[in-house]
Amino acid sequence: MPKVVSSEPTETEYRKRPARGASLFVSETSLEHMIDHADRGFGDGVEIMGLMMGTVYRDDLGYYAMVMDAVTSELDSDEVSVRFGRNSFEELFKNIDKVGGKVVGWYHSHPGFGCYLSDTDIRTHKGIFGNDPGFAIVIDPSDATIKAFTVENEEQKDAVMVIMDAV
Ligand SMILES: [Zn+2]
């Protein structure tokens, strides 16, 4: 998967986070999109994935992200793996442009095997974000569990997620 985050250093705005202790603030509608997507995949017996669009901010506690939308494109997936389809990047970038904002994270599903980042997921995460701050959401649609992570030193680190009403 090609790096989808611009390597241009962008200025991260300093702004105090809305809730101490949380680092991922997700709009209700974008979370609904991700959960609906995971549920549809579960119905088809496959994993799904997509990108979270929004803004990264920083404050005295470090980086955090606001997610306003989720985008995806045609996927190449089965019951234990998923990636963007070989020919789907044009569609993906078009959807990214349509929504606007920055790619601040990615989401994918683990139908029936729990929420964590596998070694492959950590490689995917590094592939997308490099050393930029990035977030990962994993959804297990079999029992409706959701977890958020960041990656530090090649390892998953729990991130506290807060769901926001429409703003
Ligand atoms: Zn995974």
Q: What is the DSSP letter of 79?
A: S
pLDDT digits (tens, 9 = 90+) for 96-105: 999 999 999 9
Higher pLDDT, 16 or 166: 16
> What tokens were used for 38?
């995971």
HSE, side-chain direction, 13 A CA sphere, residue 1 = 26
Q: To which residue do tokens 């959804």 refer?
A: 139
Domain ranges of the chain: 22-164
pLDDT at 166 over 70: no
> 81 C-alpha vs ligand 1 centroid, how far in Å?
7
pLDDT digits (tens, 9 = 90+) for 70-98: 999 999 999 999 999 999 999 999 999 99
pTM of the model: 0.92
pLDDT digits (tens, 9 = 90+) for 119-144: 999 999 999 999 899 999 999 999 99
DSSP three-state, residue 42: helix
Average pLDDT, the chain: 93
Give CA angle at 124 (122, 126), nearest 5°: 70
> What tokens were used for 39?
């549920």
> 114 C-alpha vs ligand 1 centroid, how far in Å?
9
- C-alpha 20/C-alpha 8 separation (Å) is 29
pLDDT number for residue 78: 94
> 28 C-alpha vs ligand 1 centroid, how far in Å?
23
Type of residue found at 64: Y
> 49 C-alpha vs ligand 1 centroid, how far in Å?
9
Which residues, 6+ apart, have CB-to-CB distance to 144 below 8 Å?
Answer: 35
> 22 C-alpha vs ligand 1 centroid, how far in Å?
22
Domain 22-164 falls under CATH 3.40.140.10: yes
> 68 C-alpha vs ligand 1 centroid, how far in Å?
22
> 134 C-alpha vs ligand 1 centroid, how far in Å?
15
Higher pLDDT, 1 or 30: 30
> 166 C-alpha vs ligand 1 centroid, how far in Å?
28
